Amino acid sequence: MWMGYMSKPSDFPVPNEIGNPLQHLIDQYARSYTLRYGLAAIGMFLAQVPQRVPALVVGVALDAILFAEIPYTLPLVPDGLLPTTTETQVLFTVGLLVAAYLLDTGLNWAAGWISGTARYWTLHDIRVDTFDALVTHQLRFFDDRQTGDVMSVLNNDVSNLTQFSENAFRGLGFLSQLLVAFAFMLTLHPRLATLLLLMPVALALLSRWYTTRVEPIYEEVRESVGQVNSRLENSIDGIATVKSFARENDERAAVEAVSKDYRDRKWSAIRLRLAFDLSSWTVSSLAFIGVFALGTYMALNGAPALLGDALTAGTLLTFLLYTKSFYQPVRQLMLDVLDSYENALASSKRIVAVLEGDCPDPAAGHDLQGNAGKITYDTVSFSYTGADEQTVSRVDFTAEPGSLIGIVGPTGAGKSTITKLLFRFYDPDEGTIRIDGTDICEVSQRSLREHLGYVAQDPFLFTGTIRENIAYGVDDADQTAVEEAATLAGAHEFITQFDAGYSTQVGECGESLSGGQRQRIAIARALFRDPAILILDEATSHIDNETERQIQRSIDVLAGDRTIVVIAHRLSTVRNADQIIVVEDGQIVERGTHEQLLDDSGTYADLWRVQVGETDAVSDSFLDTTVSNRSGLDGETDEVVR
For binding to ligand ATP (CB under 6 A), which residues are involved? 143, 384, 391, 409, 411-417, 632
To ligand ATP, the closest distance from the beta carbon of 497 in angstroms equals 31
Nearest to ligand ATP of 203, 392 (CB atom)? 392
Nearest to ligand ATP of 329, 632 (CB atom)? 632
Nearest to ligand ATP of 287, 399 (CB atom)? 399
- CA–CA dist 565, 615 (Å, integer): 28
To ligand ATP, the closest distance from the beta carbon of 420 in angstroms equals 7
Residues in the chain: 642
Nearest to 408 by CA among 566, 611, 541, 540: 566
To ligand ATP, the closest distance from the beta carbon of 415 in angstroms equals 4
Integer-rounded Cα radius of gyration of the chain: 36
Burial class (CB in 10 A: 0-12, 13-18, 19+), 84: exposed
To ligand ATP, the closest distance from the beta carbon of 412 in angstroms equals 4
Nearest to ligand ATP of 161, 582 (CB atom)? 582
Nearest to ligand ATP of 416, 593 (CB atom)? 416
CA angle 268, 274, 279 (to 5 degrees): 130
To ligand ATP, the closest distance from the beta carbon of 505 in angstroms equals 30
Q: Which helix (H) or strand (E) holds 113?
A: helix 86-136
To ligand ATP, the closest distance from the beta carbon of 404 in angstroms equals 18
To ligand ATP, the closest distance from the beta carbon of 417 in angstroms equals 3
- CA–CA dist 214, 280 (Å, integer): 16
C-beta of residue 394 within 8 angstroms of C-beta of residue 52 = no
- Secondary structure of 166-223 as H, E, C letters: HHHHHHHHHHHHHHHHHHHHHHHCHHHHHHHCHHHHHHHHHHHHHHHHHHHHHHHHHH
Nearest to ligand ATP of 139, 179 (CB atom)? 139
To ligand ATP, the closest distance from the beta carbon of 594 in angstroms equals 19
- CA–CA dist 237, 223 (Å, integer): 21
Residues 6+ apart with CB under 8 A from 341: 22, 164, 167, 168, 211
Nearest to ligand ATP of 193, 407 (CB atom)? 407
Residue 136: CB atoms within 10 A of its CB come to 15
Give long-range contacts, CB 8 A cutoff, 24+ apart: 277-280.
277/331, 277/335, 279/206, 280/203, 280/206, 280/207, 280/327, 280/330, 280/331, 280/334
Nearest to 60 by CA among 318, 395, 337, 376: 318
Query: Residue 379 carries which DSSP code?
Result: E
Nearest to ligand ATP of 141, 498 (CB atom)? 141
C-beta of residue 416 within 8 angstroms of C-beta of residue 529 = no
To ligand ATP, the closest distance from the beta carbon of 143 in angstroms equals 4
β-pairing verdict for 452-455 and 438-439: unpaired
Nearest to ligand ATP of 104, 636 (CB atom)? 636
To ligand ATP, the closest distance from the beta carbon of 161 in angstroms equals 31
Nearest to ligand ATP of 9, 78 (CB atom)? 9
Q: Alpha-carbon dihedral of residues 602, 605, 611, 614, nearest 10 degrees? A: -110
To ligand ATP, the closest distance from the beta carbon of 560 in angstroms equals 27
To ligand ATP, the closest distance from the beta carbon of 569 in angstroms equals 7
Burial class (CB in 10 A: 0-12, 13-18, 19+), 316: buried
To ligand ATP, the closest distance from the beta carbon of 360 in angstroms equals 23
Burial class (CB in 10 A: 0-12, 13-18, 19+), 334: buried
To ligand ATP, the closest distance from the beta carbon of 343 in angstroms equals 32
To ligand ATP, the closest distance from the beta carbon of 435 in angstroms equals 20
Nearest to ligand ATP of 267, 384 (CB atom)? 384
- DSSP per-residue string spanning 358-370: SPP-TTTTPPPP-
C-beta of residue 187 within 8 angstroms of C-beta of residue 75 = yes
C-beta of residue 191 within 8 angstroms of C-beta of residue 306 = yes
Handedness of CA 311, 313, 318, 323 (dihedral sign): positive
Instruction: Tell me phi and psi for residue 382, to 5 degrees.
Output: -155, 145
Nearest to ligand ATP of 288, 397 (CB atom)? 397
Nearest to ligand ATP of 330, 380 (CB atom)? 380
Instruction: Tell me phi and psi for residue 618, to 5 degrees.
Output: -70, 140
Nearest to ligand ATP of 143, 442 (CB atom)? 143
